[in-house]
């Protein structure tokens, strides 16, 4: 047993981007450790923007939930809620 060595995993560069920020899915309802590949930029009521980076599944869920659920109870348009959606690096303005 003494010749067994503890294997130290090399740092996973996918977990962090340049400034040390965490880099996993921002889905808020459950912890999701998927690497985000899509971004949603929300228009906040005060005019501030807030971005969420999401995995493909939760990106689709975020948009679907908004369209299927939220728009029933909200008079504002989709464009009033999201300013950019799409793949990270190439989000589309709504
Ligand atoms: Zn996710
Ligand atoms: Zn709304």
DSSP string, 42-86: EEPTTS-EEEEEE-HHHHHHHHHHHHHTGGGG--S-HHHHEEEEE
- Report how far residue 70's alpha carbon sits from residue 73's, in angstroms, rounded to the nearest whole number: 6
Half-sphere exposure of 46 (CA within 13 A, CB side): 2
> Could you give the 3-state DSSP secondary structure of residue 87?
strand
pLDDT recorded at residue 17 = 47
Which DSSP state fits 22? B
Q: Where are the domains of the chain?
A: 22-93
Q: Tell me how far the alpha carbon of residue 25 lies from the centroid of ligand 1, in angstroms.
A: 5
pTM, 2 dp: 0.69
Q: Tell me how far the alpha carbon of residue 60 lies from the centroid of ligand 1, in angstroms.
A: 10
Query: What are the average pLDDT values for consecutive 10-residue runs of the chain, which has 94 residues?
Result: 53 48 86 96 77 96 90 85 92 90
Ligand nearest to the CA of 70: 2
Q: Tell me how far the alpha carbon of residue 5 lies from the centroid of ligand 1, in angstroms.
A: 35
């Amino acid at each position: 047993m003494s010749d067994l060595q503890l294997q130290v995993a090399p740092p996973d560069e996918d977990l962090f981007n340049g400034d040390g920020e965490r880099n996993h899915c921002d889905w808020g309802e459950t912890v999701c450790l998927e690497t985000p590949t899509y971004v949603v930029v929300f228009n906040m009521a005060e005019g501030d923007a807030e971005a969420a980076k999401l995995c493909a599944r939760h990106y689709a869920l975020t948009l679907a939930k908004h369209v299927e659920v939220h728009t029933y109870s909200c008079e504002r348009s989709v464009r009033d809620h999201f300013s950019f959606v799409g793949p990270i690096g190439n989000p589309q303005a709504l």
